[in-house]
Amino acid sequence: MPSDTKLSIAVDKDVCIGAGQCALTAPGVFTQDDDGFSELLPGKEDGGGDPLVRDAARVCPVSAITITEE
């Protein structure tokens, strides 16, 4: 991923089942809320430069994570 590429990351709470694979794969970007569903850590809406953010989206069993290049 080129350093000048901006990402926008979103977690669809209606699709998420709380498997937690994203938080295990990229713990610097994702966490789980009090109900066990995935969410972005504050200020990480762009991935924070974490090289594992795409892997985290890929391992989501229900494809609840969307990454858009801007």
Under 8 Å between Cβ of 70 and 52: no
- The pTM of this model reads 0.88
What span, in angstroms and rounded, lies between the C-alpha atoms of 38 and 8? 16
> Could you give the CA distance from residue 18 to residue 38 in angstroms, rounded to a whole number?
6
What is the tens place of the pLDDT at every residue in 3-40? 567 899 999 999 999 999 999 999 999 999 999 999 99
Is pLDDT of 59 > 70? Answer: yes
Please report how many Cα atoms fall inside a 13 Å half-sphere around the Cα of residue 38, on the Cβ side.
33
HSE-up of 15 (CA within 13 Å, CB side)? 11
Q: How confident is the model at residue 50 (pLDDT cuts 50, 70, 90)?
A: very high
Question: Is residue 1 very low, low, confident or very high in pLDDT (cuts 50, 70, 90)?
Answer: very low
Residue 22's pLDDT is what?
A: 97
Could you tell me where the DSSP H helices lie in the chain?
21-25, 53-59
